[in-house]
Amino acid sequence: MELADIEKRIKHLHDFALSLYEAGINFVPMIEIMGLNDLGEKTSYVYALGDSESVEKRFAVLRRVGEMTATGENGHGKLYPIAVLFASEAWVSKYSAKTPPKEMVMPSQDPNKTEAFVISARTSDNKNYMQTFIINREQKTLVGDMNIKPEEGGENTLLNEFWIGYRSKIKTA
């Protein structure tokens, strides 16, 4: 799978989320594992995550999904993952270098927070992608840039848990 495949999936998730917002429905957090099956065919699996799960529980879930992907315990057979995507609604804080926050607070606690739809991806070769779209529920739109490119530096620790679980089982197989 290449960047074009990741771009296509991000565009699809964007359009799917937009269709939900147009219908007045919230997006349920989900992960998608993109890879190759035993026959070398491109395939993907999608898992919905509960909205109210704690971060610790999501870490454990992603680690377990990684393990199951490596061993084939997922009911679909083995998948050789190339990328994992995570999509969710989130609160974001927007500040600039000229107007930094007076103190660091979690976006959910920030009085200037903005609701966003976030899609992040991490590839098997540790490239990270992240797209953030501002949700405007009144106008039923998602505002953001579809110019997708690898992120410099940062990583999604949630997606890293998938790879930790996956790699822990392929080392023992």
Q: Is residue 168 part of a domain?
A: yes
- Examine the pLDDT at 48 and tell me if it is beyond 90: no
- pTM score, two decimals? 0.83
The token pair that represents 20 in the structure block:
């939900």
Kindly state whether residue 30 falls inside one of the protein's structural domains: yes
Per-residue pLDDT band for 19 (boundaries 50, 70, 90) equals: very high
For 71-76, what is the mean pLDDT?
Answer: 82
Q: Is residue 141 part of a domain?
A: no
Q: Is residue 99 part of a domain?
A: no
Number of domains the chain is built from: 1
In this prediction, residue 163 carries a pLDDT of 94
pLDDT at 53 exceeding the cut of 70? no
* Residue 104 domain flag: no
pLDDT for 140: 85
45 domain-assigned: yes
Residue 94 covered by a domain:
no
70 in Cβ contact with 166 (< 8 Å):
yes
Provide the domain limits for residue 48: 3-89+118-130+148-172
Distance CA 139, CA 149 (A): 28
- Looking at the predicted structure, is the pLDDT value of residue 28 above 70? yes
Taking residues 48-71, report their average pLDDT: 85
Residue 50 within a domain? yes
The pLDDT-based confidence of 107 (bands split at 50, 70, 90) is confident
